[in-house]
Amino acid sequence: MNIVYLTLGLIAIYLYVSAASLLWEGVDRKLVARMQRRMGPPILQPFYDFLKLVSKESIIPRDANKFFEIAPVLALASSIALLAYTPLGFEPLLATKGDVIVFIYLLALIAFVRVMGAVSSGSPYAQIGAQREIIMLASREVPMMLGLFAILWRLSKLGVEKPFSLGTFYQYNIWEIGTPLTVFGTFVLFIVFLLWLASEIEVGYFNIPEAETEVAEGPMAEYSGRHLALFKLSSALKEFASASLVVAIFFPWGISGYLGLTGIGAVVLDLLFHTLKVFIVLFVSMSVFRAITGRLRITQAVGMFWGRILPMSFIGVLLIVIDVLGVIA
C-alpha cells in the first residue's frame, strides 16, 4: 500500500478511535452509575472533561525534570503508533510477519512512559504509584504473551501468509479448529485474556497504581491541565486497543461478508461491528468488573497473576499444544 494512503488511514483511524474510546468511557460511566442506581453523567461527559482539562492551567512542580513534560506526548505518540498495529475488524495497517512483538512492545511502552513521567515529577505519591505500576506491568504481560503466542503459533500451523501477525486472526480463527481440547483450551485462555484486559486498563481488582483513596491518583498525582488530558486520551486509546486485541483473537468474525459488501463499505461496516464487539467485551471486563469488585493489595494482585492466572494460561496453552502435536491421539 502507498505510504500516503497509510498515513491518511492512520489519521482516520486515530480520529475514529479517539471518538469511540471517549464515547465508551461515557457509556461506561453511565452504566456503572445505573448499576448503583444513580443517574450518572451525560454520555458525552468525557469529551467535556477533555476540553476542560485542555483549557486549564498546567502546573509543573518545582522538582520536576524535563521528562515530566515530554512523557504525556510520548504516551500519546505510542498509543497512536499502536493503532497502526491494532486489528480493528480488518487487517492492521502495518501488518507484517511477526508484528505481534511490536504490538506488545508498544502496549508496554505506554505504561512505561507513564511510569517515567511519574518518577520525573518528584512527588513521593507518584513514586509509590509508579512502583506499583511497574510491578503490575511485569506480572501481567507474562500470561498474556504466553497465550497470545500459543494461539498465533497454532494458527500458523494452518498455513498463513504472515505468521505471527495480528492479521492472521482474520484468515483463521481459533474456534474453527473445533477439536474439544482446543475449544476448552481457548475458553481457558479467554478468561485469562479478560483478566489481563482488566489489569491492562486497571479496573476492579487491579486498580492499584491509580488507587485514588490510597496513594492520591498514583502516577497521575502531579499531572494537571493539558498534560493530564494527553494522558487521559492515551489511556482511552490503550483501552480500546487492548480490548481490540481480545476481540480479534476470540471474536474475529465480520459481517460484511454475509452482506456481500466489498471495498470501503466493507471496511467501515467491519469497523463499526468491531467497535460494537469491543464495547461488549469492555462491558464485561470493565464496567461489571469495576462495579462489583474492590481493589486488591499489590501483593495480592501479584500473587494472583503468578499463582492463578499464569497457571491458567499454562493449562490453556498445554491443551492447545497437546492437541496440535497429537501426544494423545
Partner 1 sequence: MPTKAMFLMIKQMLQRPFTNPFPVKHAPKDVTSLVEKIQKGEVKIYPPVPVPEGFRGKLHYDPERCIGCRLCITVCPANAMEWIPELRKIRHYVSRCMFCALCVDVCPGKKFPGEEKAVKALSMSEEFLIADYDKYSDNLIEEPPEAKEKGI
Helix (H, G, I), strand (E, B) or coil at 211: coil
Taking the least distance from each CB to partner 1, the nearer of 32 and 315 is 32
Task: Please report whether residue 38 would count as binding partner 1 according to CB under 8 A.
Answer: yes
Are residues 270 and 89 in contact, defined by beta-carbon separation less than 8 angstroms?
Answer: yes
Helix (H, G, I), strand (E, B) or coil at 59: coil
Q: Enumerate residues 279-298 that contact partner 1 by CB under 8 A.
A: 288, 291-293
Burial of 327 (0-12, 13-18, 19+ CB in 10 A): exposed
Task: Please report whether residue 73 would count as binding partner 1 according to CB under 8 A.
Answer: no
Interface characters, 235-274, with partner 1 (x: CB under 8 A): ----------------------------------------
Taking the least distance from each CB to partner 1, the nearer of 267 and 291 is 291
Task: Please report whether residue 3 would count as binding partner 1 according to CB under 8 A.
Answer: no
Q: Which stretch binds partner 1 (CB under 8 A): 26-34, 148-156, 216-224, 311-319?
A: 26-34
Task: Please report whether residue 135 would count as binding partner 1 according to CB under 8 A.
Answer: no
Are residues 254 and 71 in contact, defined by beta-carbon separation less than 8 angstroms?
Answer: no
Taking the least distance from each CB to partner 1, the nearer of 168 and 287 is 287
Reading the block at residue 99, the C-alpha cell is 508484528
Among 1, 2, 3, 37, the residue binding partner 1 under the rule CB under 8 A is: 37
Q: Can you tell me the distance from the alpha carbon of 254 to that of 267, in angstroms, rounded to the nearest whole number?
A: 10
Is the Cα dihedral 41, 45, 48, 49 positive or negative? positive
Are residues 41 and 30 in contact, defined by beta-carbon separation less than 8 angstroms?
Answer: yes
- Which residues of the shown chain bind partner 1 in the complex (CB under 8 A)? 31, 33-40, 42, 288, 291-293
